[in-house]
Amino acid sequence: MAIKVHGNPFSPPVQRVFLTLVEKDLDYEFVFVDLSIRQHKKEPYLLMNPFGQVPSFEDGDLTLFESRAITRYIAYAYADKGTPLIDQDPKKFAIISVWLEVESLKFDAAGQKLSFELVIKPLLGLTTDESAVEPLQGQLALVLDVYEARLSESKYLGGDSFTLADLHHVPIVNNLMKTKVKALFDARPHVSAWASDILARPTWAKVLASIKR
């Protein structure tokens, strides 16, 4: 098979790549990387990703890392397949790009740390640092205030349809909805409706089913 994803299925960035591939109706091979024996911090894995993080990705002779670069490549290279996740029009694509940056630099900056403290640490038998949770919730609330305003005038972040800008949020939103952080979403009607919508995609159900196997 031409496309391979290397990583751990519980990693949100790995799930982000899975979801993109399923939206694009592309087959792929999953290559498990055992984080518990620090396989990602040793060769040969480091030859694919010098930062020693998951995921890494192969498509024939192309090797990539950084989940958001991988998803952009898939959306761009396979533009004609499955869900159109970007827009060929430069101005429409630019609006999507703005919200891609916001996800990465604003939402995820707080969201992935909350997901780590409240979901991943308990899974690994580690203790949540409650003193870190409160300021992160405050930080996320400010981001969600901007989202509430944006989503009151636009069904999705990038425009009228679901794009990569929404997709990039799915794994972390999915984790946060199982925690007390859900209250921050529930308090904002447009954010709450958007979160329900993007989590209800049949493609995401497929990803979750594949992870459980």
Hey, what amino acid is at 156? Y
Phi, psi of 86 (to 5 degrees): -130, 180
Task: Centre a 10 Å sphere on the Cβ of residue 177 and count the other Cβ atoms it contains.
Answer: 15
Using the minimum distance from each CB to a second copy, give the nearer residue, 10 or 73.
73
Q: How far is the CB of 47 from a second copy (least distance, A)?
A: 10
Contact between residue 15 and residue 170 where contact means Cβ atoms under 8 Å apart: yes
Q: Which stretch binds a second copy (CB under 8 A): 25-33, 61-69, 170-178, 181-189?
A: 61-69
**Where does residue 34 rank: exposed (0-12), middle (13-18), buried (19+ CB within 10 A)?**
exposed
Q: How far is the CB of 211 from a second copy (least distance, A)?
A: 24
CA dist., res. 206 & res. 164, Å (int): 18
Asked if 132 touches a second copy (CB under 8 A), the answer is no
Longest dimension (CA), the chain: 48
Site for a second copy in 62-81 (CB under 8 A): 62, 64-66, 68-70, 72-73, 76-77
Asked if 94 touches a second copy (CB under 8 A), the answer is yes
Asked if 105 touches a second copy (CB under 8 A), the answer is yes
Q: Which residues bind a second copy (CB under 8 A)?
A: 50-51, 59, 62, 64-66, 68-70, 72-73, 76-77, 90-91, 93-95, 97-98, 100-102, 104-106, 146, 149-150
